[in-house]
Amino acid sequence: MFDVLLLLTAVSLFAYAFYKWVTKNYNYFKDRNLAFITPKFLVGNFGAFLTKQLTAQEFSDYLYNAHPTKKLYGIFSFRQPALVVRDPEVLKQITIKDFEYFEDKRLIGNDSDKLIGKSLIMMKGTKWHDMRSTLSPAFTGSKMRLMFDLIMENSINMSTQLRKKNTSLELDMKELFNKLTIDMTANTAFGIKINSFEDENNEFYLMAKNLLNFNRPKILIKMVFLNVMPKLAAFFDVQMFEPQVAEFFRGMVWSNMETRQREGIFRPDLINLLMQIRKGEEVQSAADENKTPDGFATVEEFSVGKKSSTRRWSDEEIIAQCFLFFFAGFDPISNHLGFTTYELAVNPDVQQKLFEEILDVESRLNGKNITYDQLQKMKYLDMVITESLRKWPPIALTDRMCVKDYTYEEDGVKFVIRKGMMVAVPSMSFHYDEKYFPNSKVFDPERFNDENRRNIVPGTYLPFGIGPRNCIGSRYALMQAKVTIYYLLLNFKLVPYDKTQIPLKLAKTPMGMFTDKGIHLKFETRP
């Protein structure tokens, strides 16, 4: 009896201590007189998101609409106090003007993770500055011009493969564009030519399919562990992805580099850049190039300190950048192309107007292929792509991490944002705020015509982020999207059919912008 009582006492004390540890910070904002969203035990304000009760957009709206009259307010990332910013002026203040206070990000995993943790998006401080400066030259307008023919080659190949099959095709957009974008990524980044439309068993495509299964319970458990107990996760060497993923990239990158060095091969791609930085060579800074905008959605390249870096990077860090480019180069762009073709199919007037612009360009090419510069001059194509990114951005939520104490004041209340505190940015909800984008649920490319785009409130259109930590690959993504849509509409009319979900609904998943029932469209071959 005494032993049982002792055991119950020990269990009770442990449970009480665990409860106090979890809830230690739950009065943080109340004590400081700042509005906040009431947390739930252990998961804070992220429970419904992680347990798949909300779509990515619904979770963004949950954060964004909690305190409509406030510009900044509190939430809890599991047990840690965090903040939500829902005012564009405050957002610009944090992400641009006072960037030095909020230069880091906190996404999934931590820096002990060999792939996500050591990639550019997870790097912090000086290391991030140096890697951003190192990689930026790979994404300038001049580099896009060099890659353009490779991207165009893949787009034409897809259209050619589809035209061979039938005059009317019923297709799954996710499957279609996964094949296309993985071929593009292999070709432009790694110098490896594959054709996933003819060979679905190539190692690039198989690896891509494996990575797409990102919502497995095992992955979600790891993500929670890495965020709730990062030090313990690092101690046990918890990795987001299986060891064979890292081995795939390591083997592919090193063999590619060795072949090029041995045979004197040069290609203007990511592998060539990584070969330079592996040797500690200085690369030309993106800031040295006089760039022209490649469309409204192209992000501005901010100065991030030194114009170039000769830091020697470890093999793990080089592999991590390859993984990031591989993943970011196919999945988000594949999703975007799916959403764009859906909107064109259910808005036939938009599709027809874009098709007429494409025909006009074709008539002036005299049988030649379109060039990168000619593509950038297509105003309506840019409007369509830009509106698609507004309605269906690559991610619904981003963040910044405070790196040194920062004093914020609102309505006479001063609040110190402490070092290490995350600031969440529900970017998708800005895109659907009627104050900034009237009739926001309507797909309307005219929002971004020459006259109307001047009225877009800065800090409310965020498909590629904002400030110096915006998406480094926006030019590349826009080039892929534009050339793909160009050749698709040139060859096919896109129409919905009985399997097409209208209106389109997002799946309740914590990772990425995935649809509930896929995107299924009919392709009718043009004469």
Domain ranges of the chain: 32-525
pTM attached to this predicted model: 0.91
pLDDT greater at residue 167 or residue 448: 448
| 213 token code pair | 């299964």
Q: Is the pLDDT of residue 290 over 60?
A: no
Q: What would the mean pLDDT of 303-319 be, rounded to a whole number?
A: 68
Q: pLDDT value at position 112?
A: 66
Binding-site positions for heme read: 471
- 93-122 pLDDT, tens digit per residue, is 999 999 999 999 875 556 667 777 788 988
Query: How far apart, in whole angstroms, are the C-alpha atoms of residue 423 and residue 364?
Result: 49
Q: pLDDT value at position 254?
A: 83
pLDDT greater at residue 163 or residue 290: 163
Return the CATH fold of 32-525: Cytochrome p450 (1.10.630)
Exposure string of 386-417, with b = 16+ CB inside 10 Å and e = fewer, is bbbbbbbbbbbbbbbbbbeebebeeeeeebeb
CA distances from 149 to 114, 162, 345, 372, 489 (A): 33, 20, 27, 8, 19
Sign of the CA dihedral with 23 first, then 24, 30, and 33 last = negative
- Which amino acid is it at 105? K
Q: pLDDT value at position 284?
A: 55
| 306 token code pair | 């030194």
DSSP 36: B
Q: At what angle do helices 315-346 and 379-391 cross, to 10 degrees?
A: 100
- 479-492 pLDDT, tens digit per residue, is 999 999 999 999 99
Q: Is the pLDDT of residue 228 over 70?
A: no
Residue 511's pLDDT band (boundaries 50, 70, 90)?
low
Residue 287's pLDDT band (boundaries 50, 70, 90)?
very low
Q: Is the pLDDT of residue 417 over 80?
A: yes
Cis, bond preceding 503 (omega within 30 deg of 0): yes
Question: Residue 49 forms beta bridges with which residues?
Answer: none
Query: How far apart, in whole angstroms, are the C-alpha atoms of residue 148 and residue 383?
Result: 20
Residue 215's pLDDT band (boundaries 50, 70, 90)?
low
Q: pLDDT value at position 172?
A: 96
**How many whole angstroms from its chain centre is CA 159?**
26
Chain mean pLDDT for the chain? 87
Neighbours of 433 (CB within 10 A): 20
Query: How far apart, in whole angstroms, are the C-alpha atoms of residue 104 and residue 159?
Result: 41
Read out DSSP for 192-259? ----TTT-TTSHHHHHHHHHH-TT-HHHHHHHHHHHHSHHHHHHTT--SS-HHHHHHHHHHHHHHHHH
Binding-site positions read: 471
Residues found in the chain:
527
DSSP 465: -
Query: How far apart, in whole angstroms, are the C-alpha atoms of residue 421 and residue 440?
Result: 32
Q: Is the pLDDT of residue 510 over 80?
A: no
Q: pLDDT value at position 303?
A: 61
Q: Is the pLDDT of residue 291 over 80?
A: no
The H-assigned helical ranges of 307-460 are 315-346, 348-365, 372-376, 379-391, 427-431
| 229 token code pair | 């107990």
Q: pLDDT value at position 108?
A: 58
Q: pLDDT value at position 390?
A: 98
CB contact set of 442 (below 8 Å; sequence gap of 6+):
none
Query: How far apart, in whole angstroms, are the C-alpha atoms of residue 437 and residue 461?
Result: 9
Q: What would the mean pLDDT of 436-460 be, rounded to a whole number?
A: 96
| Residue of 125, 152, 496, 175 lying closest to 343 (CA atoms) | 496
Percentage of the chain with pLDDT > 70? 89
Taking the CA of residue 31 as centre, how many other CA atoms within 13 Å lie in the half-sphere pointing to its CB? 7
